[in-house]
Every structure is written in structure tokens, then in C-alpha cells.
């Protein structure tokens, strides 16, 4: 059986939640492999709306094992809150259905406070962080001073970890004019929350490898989008983790040979939240129309998303860096009724044509899009479940996207409802 990695191929908000839910019905395990509760996935199942931030999308499906891998940074208090909300919606969550890697780093209150203080005091260039402490937690992971899930099980170890953490953070907080952290109070907070986290703790790397050997189907779920990858995104306006498909191996311990299919989620137009370059961004009625029709507001922050035409250059790049096997094209129905559609096929930089977005931030800012125009369609594509239900011009648009990004469409999504999906290639078919 094939194991599938799902990654966002733009700046996030591509509709991963629905696709993961659609695929999870046939998976045995759904694993999150990076990011934190800065992610936001909205699922609509039989009219019921579920909003997930750190829990894998498969958690709302009975009979599935959901896994939070070590590549995730976990806020334990948010985890408990999110579990309580879902239980209130009738979702059953137990140690039999949810596992958390023992080596998962924890987001502590100190991380969120530092995140927000830096953003407020940054007079050079704001990153547009969600302020939830994700970046500082990853910094502490790399700095070898983070508290991990396994540390909660032993008080002496926990105290040592907290002491090492505060030896770094308290001097930093003094410099920022923030009160120092009370060590004993932080240890007590962690002791209080520990039982709620430790009951889900497990050697995830071992469990996943055993599941793989047993022929179980594993679905690896990414958060954000590849253009926010800390290495290959529009740096520094990126998240603090690797988002591309290779992180699925590192972030769970499955090993790269455990990945059989990479599904890139691609919106039929382009959006992003927060600061950073956006070559095809629209500031006119077309941009407003895309935002209104697409309900483009962040699941986590509620911030209005910036909207623009489809950028084939960017998606071609992310398909390459993530080794995408096939894409899932979402929100095609938002383009219904446009007389003319535009696709960015290249950039102009200082009089030179470029077929990729350069790495240097100043060059990214100077890139202007070169558009190709295509006729739109007046018919509705909403709810289409077969190619025969699509207008001819909609099919032409999809085919042109495939050509430009050099990657085939495996799935086509035509509404938020999970069944409104056209299956072209089965990602789970090995």
C-alpha cells in the first residue's frame, strides 16, 4: 500500500484540510509532521464545521490513528483546549486514536510572549507572525534548550530543562523590557498539564515503521505551504519550519523510503496572509471578487488574505522542491463567472525574463508578472464530480495549469464539501 504526503504548494490556505479528510477515509494513520497551532484547517463534514489547528485532520474520522510527529512544536495548553472543543462536537479522542511523539518540542508561555514582543518592537520589517510562539520554540529546539514531551515524565529532568531554558530567556527578556519568568511557577504549570499530554506520548517513529511493515496506509499531513518553507520560501517572510515533503520523513521518523506519493495542494488562484512578496497580487475589483467568493479569511488569525491570479512559476518551483507526484487543484468554482482569467507564466526582472522567483529578497520585490490570458466561463463548476460536469473553458484552464507547472492533476476540488471532488489519479494506489 502507498504512503502519501500532502503538502501545500503555495503560501498555505490551499484547502489541505478537506483533501486530507477526503483521503483519510481510506488511510489507517494520519500524521502531522511540522508546524504548530499557527496552522488552520477547516473541515466540513455533513454540514458540521470543524476547525483544527494542531490535531491531524484524520482525528474527526472514527477508526483512524492520528499522530503528532516530532517535527511539530506543541502548545500543550492549546492541545487540551482543542481536544475539549472537538469532544464537544461529538468527536471521540483517546490514547488509542491519538499519539504524540515523545521527542516533540513544547511551546511554552515564554515563547508566545517573546514572539509578540519582538514583532511589536521590530521597526525594521515585520514578519507577520501569528504571535503563537512557534518561531521561538523552534529556535530553542535548535539551541538544544527546549522542553520535550518526554521531559514531563520526570521532575528532575524537567527542572534541569527549565533552568537551561530560562538561562537564555530571562536575560533576553530583560533586554526587551519584559518581566523575567518565575521558574517555580513555570515548572508547576508544566507539572499540572503533564498528565494530559503524557497519556498520548509514544515512540511514534517505532509505531509508524511497524504500521508500514504491516502494510497500513499512512497519510502525512503538512501545515502552511511550501512557499513558507524556512529554506525554500520567500525568506524572511516564512514560517520557522521546513514545510516541503522531505520534512515528512524527518518530522515523524519514517525514513524517506517510506514515502510513495506526494500530493501538492494548489488553489486555482493565489493567496497569502501577512507580509512578504506576492508578484500576482491584485488591488482591484478582481482581487476583491476572488476574496469575497473564496471567503478568504485565515482560519487561525481571521486576517483577510491577499488575493491574486494563479502563479505557475511559483507552483512549478514547489512541485520541484517537494517532488510532487500530482496536484489537487482546489477552489476552481471561485473562478466561475470571470470573463477573462490570467496566469503568470514568467517574471520580468530588470528587463530580463525569469522563469522562477529569485532567492534574493530585493530581486523578489522587483519581479513583475508576465501574464497569459485565457477565456473564462459563465457556467457553474460548484459541486462538479466528473469532467463531464465542467465547462469546456474550465477544462482548458486546468490543462494549461498542468502544462505550466509540469505536474498532472490528481484531484480536482469544486466546493468545500468532501464529496465534491473529481478523482483523476488515486494517490493511495501504489
Residues carrying an active site annotation: 13, 41
**Residue 86 dihedral angles phi and psi, to the nearest 5°:** -65, -40
Nearest to 265 by CA among 331, 219, 356: 331
Whether the bond between 236 and the residue before it is cis, its omega within 30 degrees of 0, is yes
| Helix (H/G/I), strand (E/B), else coil: 71 | coil
**Is the CB of residue 76 less than 8 Å from the CB of residue 197?**
yes
Q: Residue 14 and residue 247: Cα distance in Å, rounded? A: 19
In whole angstroms, how large is the CA radius of gyration of the chain?
22
The answer to whether 384 and 377 have CB atoms below 8 angstroms apart is no
Q: How many CA atoms lie within 13 A of 66 on its CB side?
A: 24
Q: DSSP class of residue 74? A: B
- CA distances, 170 to each of 166, 167, 275 (Å): 5, 6, 29
Label each residue of 351-417 as H, E or C. CEEECCCCCCHHHHHHCEEEEEEEECCCCCCCCCCCHHHCCHHHHHHHHHHHHHHCCCEEEEECCCC
Pairing of strands 409-413, 421-423: antiparallel
Burial profile 387-407: b = 16 or more Cβ within 10 angstroms, e = fewer = eebbbebbeebbebbbebbeb
Length of the chain measured in residues: 430
The alpha-helical segments, DSSP class H, found in 199-321 are: 204-213, 247-250, 285-293, 312-321
Residue 281 and residue 287: Cα distance in Å, rounded? 8
Q: Which residue from 255, 230, 252 is spatially nearest to 243, judged by alpha carbons?
A: 230
Residue 391's Cα: distance from chain center in Å?
31
- Here the cell at position 80 is 487540551
Amino acid at each position: 500500500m502507498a504512503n502519501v504526503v500532502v503538502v501545500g504548494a503555495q503560501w498555505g490556505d490551499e484547502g489541505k484540510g478537506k483533501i486530507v479528510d477526503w483521503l483519510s477515509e481510506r488511510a489507517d494513520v494520519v500524521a502531522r509532521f511540522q508546524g504548530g497551532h499557527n496552522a488552520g484547517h477547516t473541515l466540513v463534514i455533513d454540514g458540521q464545521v470543524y476547525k483544527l489547528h494542531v490535531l491531524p485532520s484524520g482525528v474527526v474520522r472514527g477508526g483512524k490513528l492520528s499522530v503528532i510527529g516530532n517535527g511539530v512544536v506543541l502548545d500543550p495548553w492549546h492541545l487540551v483546549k482543542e481536544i475539549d472543543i472537538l469532544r464537544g462536537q461529538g468527536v471521540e479522542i483517546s490514547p488509542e486514536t491519538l499519539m504524540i511523539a515523545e521527542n516533540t518540542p513544547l511551546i511554552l508561555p515564554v515563547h508566545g510572549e517573546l514572539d509578540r514582543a519582538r514583532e511589536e518592537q521590530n521597526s525594521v520589517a515585520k514578519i507577520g507572525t501569528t504571535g503563537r510562539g512557534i518561531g521561538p520554540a523552534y529556535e530553542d529546539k535548535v539551541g538544544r534548550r527546549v522542553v520535550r514531551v518526554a521531559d514531563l515524565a520526570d521532575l528532575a529532568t524537567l527542572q534541569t530543562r527549565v533552568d537551561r531554558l530560562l538561562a537564555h530567556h530571562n536575560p533576553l527578556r530583560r533586554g526587551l523590557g519584559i518581566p523575567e519568568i518565575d521558574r517555580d511557577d513555570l515548572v508547576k504549570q508544566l507539572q499540572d498539564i503533564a498528565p494530559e499530554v503524557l497519556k498520548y506520548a509514544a515512540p511514534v517513529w517505532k509505531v509508524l515503521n511497524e504500521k508500514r511493515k504491516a502494510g497500513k496506509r499512512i497519510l502525512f499531513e503538512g501545515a502552511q505551504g511550501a512557499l513558507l518553507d524556512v529554506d525554500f520560501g520567500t525568506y524572511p517572510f516564512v514560517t520557522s519550519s521546513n514545510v516541503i515533503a522531505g520534512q515528512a520523513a524527518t518530522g515523524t521518523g519514517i525514513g524517506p523510503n517510506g514515502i510513495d506519493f506526494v500530493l501538492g495542494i494548489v488553489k486555482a488562484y493565489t493567496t497569502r496572509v501577512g507580509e512578504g512578496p506576492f508578484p500576482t497580487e491584485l488591488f482591484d475589483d478582481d482581487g476583491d471578487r476572488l476574496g469575497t467568493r473564496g471567503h478568504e479569511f485565515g482560519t487561525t488569525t481571521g486576517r483577510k488574505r491577499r488575493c491574486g491570479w494563479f502563479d505557475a512559476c511559483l507552483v512549478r518551483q514547489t512541485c520541484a522542491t517537494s517532488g510532487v507526484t500530482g496536484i489537487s487543484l482546489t477552489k476552481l468554482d471561485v473562478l466561475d463567472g470571470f470573463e477573462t482569467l490570467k496566469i503568470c507564466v514568467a517574471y520580468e526582472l530588470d528587463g530580463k525574463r525569469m522563469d522562477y522567483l529569485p532567492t534574493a529578497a530585493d530581486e523578489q520585490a522587483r519581479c513583475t508578472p508576465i501574464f497569459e490570458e485565457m477565456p473564462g466561463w459563465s457556467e457553474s463548476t460548484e459541486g462538479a464530480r466528473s469532467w463531464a460536469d465542467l465547462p469546456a473553458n474550465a477544462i482548458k484552464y486546468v490543462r494549461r495549469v498542468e502544462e505550466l507547472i509540469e505536474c498532472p492533476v490528481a484531484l480536482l476540488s469544486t466546493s468545500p464539501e468532501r464529496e465534491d471532488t473529481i478523482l483523476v489519479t488515486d494517490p493511495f494506489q501504489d
